[in-house]
């Protein structure tokens, strides 16, 4: 039985960064998410790929208890994204998007996945996200991602989704765009009025800001000397975040904070190589060691000398 | 006897933000710095103002044990800066700079200030900064700020200053420009090869990154819902940072980390009103209360469940 369900994309990405170039590597929100989440819990994936997709390349996920039976092979080609980054790795420039089989994607959740306790709605059409929510029985936490395209073109549908989710995990620019507030804390509070109990803003190399009803939590990004490819870092964050929540089996604020730390840790590995490579090769010992370093970067002695 | 000496500017600023507009309010790096540092230690100021400057407006600093005798009144007008900000308060747009008496500024340190243990070289011509270093006898810590103008126009002199200081407190863009490295950790290490033991990169609403020989420290910015005017936030940070160091009387890494927290706290107040107003009216109780909130925003329970 899976605990965590993700609905999103499986793709072939072509990526240029100042440090190199790759063509048609495995990517897509659902794949980056699952690759990361599978370190912590049993994941089910719902997505679509074309006849050209090499399923054997993601077989390694089965060894991590991922249920891939929800990946449907459709006539046509797999979704493709081509993008590049300059030295400011926070900004992706999309060169080409080929939707291919994504255009007719209709996510049907396999029976055995409908009881998933945790649901991640990766960045797809809000109308499809609603269709997914309708199928999952009584999840403890539904978490939403989206992008500027849907905010601009399907705002009404997106608002309906937001009303039905528990948390948002979105970029800070998207938070500003949805809320029409420049200030992130204010923007988050505005979104929470629609229903969600928590908004998590991803800020790339600057880390993560979480706003809940009563608290704000600040998680910096792990300071790396070599960032190679930021593609998928956001979904890898979400995977670590939700994988950890599902593993702990609760969504208390304390667990959410720890889950944000875990998501940030996973994202810090993700950017060290192209595509899914780094997380595919990752070990628990590496996660543990970096967790220790990460904590150390944030620790300071209590200040007791205020006059 | 002062413990902390600052050499920089005292100015009249005219500022526009999306939230309001003020003309000819007190500003300048030395004033913002001192306003903040005087909460923690005895400060001496060396700067120049014109005949038009109303000294009585900064008399309140004397009650906080600030020695203002190093502020020289020269023939001419006081330095003036005019700038504006859009909603992205991280980016100041300079509308007008009138150097006035700054053009002939030659900082001579009064005898009683030459024994200061802590020296802050605020953003002025690197040639003048060198002249200041030569006059101060044996400071425990010399900390440097600068700006893109000097990096572009007096790079050679700036390098000579960097060789003689213990720490840099600069914006992340300046760190990139000086080091010619996009990655901040790498850039900081490159600068440290020239002499400094520590580089502190200010990242506006994203907080502060410190790199020392053996450690990296990440300090987020306190999450505010209302940011009014960021002018002087960087100098207010430096004031809290160095005031705290001088108060503690040591520059161990642990104290430096706490000092960064204190600097960030002071900066978080500074941006809540125009010019120096907020810090002028600040109380220790307010600092203590926000320190508690700030700590809470960064705390999370230790993760112990890694497989």
Q: Is the pLDDT of residue A292 over 70?
A: yes
* Sign for the pseudo-dihedral over CA of A300, B223, A150, A260: positive
Q: What is the pLDDT of residues A44-77, one digit of tens each?
A: 999 999 999 999 999 999 999 999 999 999 999 9
The stretch B212-221 carries a mean pLDDT of: 96
Contact B261, B40 (CB under 8 A): no
Across the interface, do A297 and B87 touch by the CB < 8 Å criterion? no
With an 8 Å Cβ cutoff, are B258 and A288 in contact?
Answer: no
Helices B284-298, B253-270: inter-axial angle, 10-degree rounding: 110
Cβ distance B295 to A302 less than 8 Å, yes or no, reads: yes
Kindly indicate the confidence band of residue A305, based on its pLDDT and cuts at 50, 70 and 90.
confident
Residue B264 burial (C-beta neighbours within 10 Å; 0-12, 13-18, 19+): buried
pLDDT of residue A268: 98
Q: State the smallest CA–CA distance between residue B48 and chain A in angstroms.
A: 31
- What is residue B219's predicted lDDT score, i.e. its pLDDT? 98
Q: What is the pLDDT of residues B70-111, one digit of tens each?
A: 999 999 999 999 999 988 888 889 999 999 999 999 999 999
Closest Cα of chain B to A287: distance in Å? 8
Query: Average per-residue pLDDT in chain B?
Result: 96
Residues in chain A closer than 8 A to B301 (CB atoms): 254, 257-258
pLDDT higher than 70, residue B56: yes
Between chains, do A223 and B215 touch, taking CB under 8 Å as contact?
no
ipTM given for this complex? 0.94
pLDDT for A115-165, tens place per residue? 999 999 999 999 999 999 999 999 999 999 999 999 999 999 999 999 999
* pLDDT at B210 > cutoff 80: yes
pLDDT score, position B222: 97
Tokens standing for residue B78: 């006081």
Band of pLDDT at residue B307, cut at 50, 70 and 90: low
Please tell me which residue, A306 or A157, carries the higher pLDDT value: A157
B/e letters for A150-165, b = 16+ CB within 10 Å, e = fewer, are bbeebeebbebbbebb
Interface of A with B in 249-268 (CB under 8 A): 254, 257-258, 260-262
**Is a pLDDT exceeding 90 seen at residue A192?**
yes
Say yes or no: B186 contacts chain A, CB-CB below 8 A: yes
B44 forms beta bridges with B5, B67
- Show me where the domains of chain B are located: 4-298
Q: Do A291 and B306 touch (CB under 8 A)?
A: yes
Report the pLDDT value the prediction gives residue B91, as an integer from 0 to 100: 85
Q: Are B69 and B61 in contact (CB under 8 A)?
A: no
Per-residue model confidence (pLDDT) at position B143: 98
Among B206, B215, B261, whose Cβ lies nearest the Cβ of A303?
Answer: B261
3-class DSSP state of B188: helix
Average pLDDT in the A16-40 region?
Answer: 96
Chain B residue closest in CA terms to A186: B225
Inter-chain CB proximity A301 and B257 less than 8 Å: yes
| Residues of chain B found within 8 Å of residue A184, distances taken between Cβ atoms | 223
The reply to whether residue B215 touches residue A296, judged by beta carbons under 8 angstroms, is yes
User: What pLDDT score does A93 carry?
Assistant: 93
CATH number of B4-298: 3.40.1190.20
CB contact under 8 A, B298 and A218: yes
Q: Decide which of A235 and A227 is more confident.
A: A235
- Measured between beta carbons, which residues in chain A are less than 8 angstroms from residue B207? 206, 218, 220
In total, chain A counts a number of residues equal to 307
* pLDDT value, residue A307: 59
CB contact under 8 Å between B300 and A254, yes or no, is yes
Which residue of chain B is at minimal alpha-carbon distance from A265?
B303
Residues contacting residue B121 through CB under 8 Å, at least 6 positions apart: B7, B8, B129, B132, B133, B142, B143, B144, B145, B161, B165
Q: Cβ of B300 and A261 within 8 Å?
A: yes
Place of tokens 């420039």: A93
Mean pLDDT of B52-77: 97
- pTM score of the predicted model: 0.96
Q: How far is CA A250 from CA A245, A246, A254, B90, in A?
A: 6, 7, 9, 37
Instruction: Provide the phi-psi class of A148: left if phi over 0, else alpha when psi is between -120 and 50, else beta.
Output: alpha
Measure A111 CA to nearest chain B CA, in Å.
29
Q: For residue range B236-253, list pLDDT tens digits in order.
A: 999 999 999 999 999 999
Cβ separation B218–A298 shorter than 8 A: yes
Q: List the single residue in B with minimal CA-CA distance to A39.
A: B307
The A residues from 202 to 241 touching B (CB cutoff 8 Å) are: 203, 206-207, 209, 211, 215-221, 223-227
pLDDT at position B90, please?
81
| pLDDT value of residue B152 | 95
Residues of A in contact with B173 (CB under 8 A): none
């Amino acid at each position: 039985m899976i605990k965590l369900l993700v609905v999103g994309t499986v793709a072939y990405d072509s990526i240029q960064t100042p440090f190199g170039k790759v063509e048609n590597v495995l990517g897509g929100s659902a794949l980056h998410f699952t690759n990361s989440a599978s370190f912590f819990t049993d994941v089910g994936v719902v997505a679509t790929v074309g006849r050209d997709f090499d399923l054997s390349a993601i077989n390694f996920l089965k060894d991590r208890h991922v249920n891939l039976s929800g990946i449907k092979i459709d006539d046509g080609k797999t979704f493709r994204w081509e993008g590049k980054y300059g030295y400011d790795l926070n900004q992706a420039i999309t060169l080409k998007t080929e939707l291919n089989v994504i255009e007719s994607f209709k996510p049907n959740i396999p029976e055995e996945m409908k009881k998933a306790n945790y649901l991640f709605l990766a960045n797809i059409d809000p109308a499809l996200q609603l269709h997914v929510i309708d199928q999952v029985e009584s999840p403890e936490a539904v978490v939403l991602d989206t992008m500027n395209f849907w905010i601009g073109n399907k705002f009404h549908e997106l608002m309906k989704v937001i009303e039905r989710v528990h948390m948002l995990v979105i970029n800070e620019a998207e938070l500003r765009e949805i809320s029409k507030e420049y200030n992130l804390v204010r923007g988050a509070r505005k979104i929470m009025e629609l229903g969600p109990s928590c908004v998590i803003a991803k800020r790339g190399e600057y880390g993560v800001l979480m706003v809940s009803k009563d608290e704000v939590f600040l998680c910096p990004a792990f300071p790396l000397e070599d960032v190679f490819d930021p593609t998928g870092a956001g979904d890898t964050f979400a995977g670590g975040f939700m994988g950890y929540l599902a593993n702990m089996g609760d969504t208390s604020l304390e667990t959410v904070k720890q889950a944000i730390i875990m998501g940030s840790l996973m994202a810090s590995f993700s950017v060290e190589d192209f595509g899914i490579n780094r997380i595919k090769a990752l070990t628990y010992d590496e996660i543990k060691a970096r967790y220790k370093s990460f904590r150390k970067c944030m620790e300071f002695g209590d200040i007791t000398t205020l006059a």
